Amino acid sequence: MTTLLDAENISVGYASKNGWVQAVAEVSLQLNAGETVGLVGESGCGKSTLGKALMRLLPASGRLRLNGDDVLTLQGKQLLPFRRQVQMMFQDPQGSLNPRQRVGTSIARPLQVAGWSKKAISARIDQLLEEVGLPAQAATRFPHEFSGGQRQRIGIARALALEPQIVICDEPVSALDVSVRAQVINLMRDIQQRSQVTYLFISHDLSVVEYIAHRVMVMYLGRIVESGPTGQVWKTPAHPYTRALLAAAPVADPRHAHSETLLEGELPSPLNPPAGCPFHTRCPFVQAVCRQQRPPLQSLTSERQVACHFHLS
């Protein structure tokens, strides 16, 4: 499988009025052609910050390579080729579209920046709207004239305008109704099958991630604590935090509800993270070493990794 994006030890921190915040700490990942990687965790764990860092929307340290080329040091116009290959879908489809611009103008913008002719842009807009299931006349309307699901389809069209290799999807269906959510997810899968685009799918909805993602990464307090093929991680979670997330996820049939204790306590503040294992303040299996030493992310198999002194599998 061809590796498109290779990130190593990505860290993002910033100063706040209360001190230094380490939002993302030494995260490494690879995105391969034609796959979907899910990124899950509680709100405030750093998922969206990591996505924006990979998009070069936030300053970060570490190493970031696209198709083998270093892109973390690029600035200004040097980033244009990178922007053509890596695009983003945002959580709020209405907030990400300019309410004063017609849909066609919003979709056309990345094509104009890339130097496309007016004729080529017009043809591409028609093609994109058809691809996401909207009529060509949608280009002449404003965002408020569409439903939430339709607006997210417009967001997909804009993200795909330049035929990028990678789309970073930041909670792209969390604001949609369940039925509309399923339609958008299926659309994304169909597009992936046709174009082999790669998705980094950021979400707190574990059922959606289970459905769409080939691999999953579990994030806690800015660090990856478990990763592996989605089916394996869901069936045999190795980290207590992963097991707690899965136990807390709602199920359609109450007879199949999880019997384990739900995740207790609050996510610690990144201003004052716990010493040792960052999860030890909430872990039911905590021991003395957990309070003193942070476990490294170690390999269980060639495909699975976990950061836990006493992993469950």
Instruction: Give mean pLDDT in consecutive 10-residue pieces for the chain, a chain of 313 residues.
Output: 94 88 94 96 92 94 95 90 92 82 93 92 95 93 91 92 95 83 91 95 93 96 96 95 88 54 77 91 93 94 94 80
Please give the pLDDT value at position 232: 95
Please give the pLDDT value at position 77: 87
Please give the pLDDT value at position 92: 77
CA-CA distances (angstroms) from residue 220 to 42, 43, 75, 78, 88?
7, 10, 30, 33, 23
CA-CA distances (angstroms) from residue 201 to 121, 154, 251, 272?
28, 18, 21, 28
The C-alpha torsion from 253 through 256 and 261 to 265, rounded to 10°, is: -30
DSSP for 198-219, written as a single string: EEEEE-S-HHHHHHH-SEEEEE
263: tokens are: 């995740």
What's the rounded Cα separation, in Å, for the pair 54 and 129?
27
Please give the pLDDT value at position 180: 86
- For residue 81, what are the contacts with CB-CB under 8 A and spacing of at least 6? none
- For residue 287, what are the contacts with CB-CB under 8 A and spacing of at least 6? 309, 310
Task: Judge whether 205 and 174 are in contact, CB under 8 Å.
Answer: yes
Please give the pLDDT value at position 266: 82
Please give the pLDDT value at position 255: 52
Please give the pLDDT value at position 263: 75
Secondary-structure breakdown of the chain: helix, strand, coil percentages, each rounded to the nearest 5: 35, 25, 40
Beta bridge partners of 220: 223
Please give the pLDDT value at position 105: 94
Q: Is 62 left (phi over 0), alpha (psi -120 to 50) or beta?
A: left
pTM over 0.85: yes
